[in-house]
């Protein structure tokens, strides 16, 4: 096992998830916003440090996407759960769509990792863009819940979730075609 600074950042993101979940569950919007923002920042920094200082590792290649999926699944589930304390909730259909895509991609990646060269099923730019949009959207939902009801974002919020849905579908289709192309016999 290789202990690198990027792997430590990823591990910290994983450790932050239960605290984030508790903050969301108990309506502690300030703490939830801060924890989610810090976790999102570690997602950006771990990849940058790994590339910049040549600290890529097999452990990091496995832990980083797992940490992302753990954080995002937790956020989607808890923010879709009906709670009176939240004025902005993730629509259940968006949460189901995003989580389903992540589960399918994880299963395909696992099969690809077992049978093929793992580098052939690395995250794509569209997958990374989707994760980024999800991070921003969840951050905004947490921020809007922290601010309380406001008329001005009432019109913005549905479009944010439509954007997530479009990105999730596009990246899911993209990964599907990549997976079928990569797994075809030569």
Query: Which pLDDT tens digit goes with each residue over 70-119?
Result: 999 999 999 999 888 888 999 999 999 999 999 998 888 777 777 766 55
- In the predicted model, residues of the chain with pLDDT beneath 70 are 1-2, 116-121, 182-186
Neighbours of 79 (CB within 10 A): 22
Dist. CA 12–CA 8, nearest whole Å? 6
pLDDT at residue 183 in the model: 57
Q: How many domains does the chain have?
A: 1
Q: What is the pTM of this model?
A: 0.89
| Packing angle, helices 58-80 and 92-115, rounded to 10 | 160
pLDDT at residue 99 in the model: 97
Q: Which domain holds residue 31?
A: 5-183
Quote the percentage of the chain above a pLDDT of 90.
66
pLDDT at residue 6 in the model: 95
Residue 17's CATH number? 1.20.120.1760
Dist. CA 106–CA 87, nearest whole Å? 32
Dist. CA 30–CA 12, nearest whole Å? 19
């Amino acid at each position: 096992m290789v202990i690198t600074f990027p792997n430590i950042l990823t591990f910290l993101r994983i450790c932050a998830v239960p605290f984030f979940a508790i903050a969301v569950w108990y309506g502690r919007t300030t703490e939830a916003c801060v924890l989610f923002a810090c976790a999102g920042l570690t997602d950006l920094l771990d990849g940058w440090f790994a590339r910049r200082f040549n600290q890529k590792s097999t452990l990091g290649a496995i832990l980083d996407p797992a940490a992302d999926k753990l954080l995002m699944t937790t956020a989607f589930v808890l923010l879709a759960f009906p709670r009176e304390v939240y004025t902005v909730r993730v629509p259940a259909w968006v949460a189901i769509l995003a989580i389903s895509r992540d589960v399918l991609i994880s299963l395909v990646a696992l099969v690809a990792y077992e049978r093929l060269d793992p580098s052939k099923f690395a995250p794509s730019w569209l997958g990374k863009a989707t994760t980024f949009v999800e991070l921003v959207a969840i951050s905004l939902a947490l921020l809007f819940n922290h601010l309380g009801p406001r008329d001005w974002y009432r019109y913005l919020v549905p479009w944010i979730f439509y954007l997530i849905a479009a990105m999730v579908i596009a990246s899911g289709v993209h990964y599907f075609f990549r997976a079928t192309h990569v797994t075809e016999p030569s």
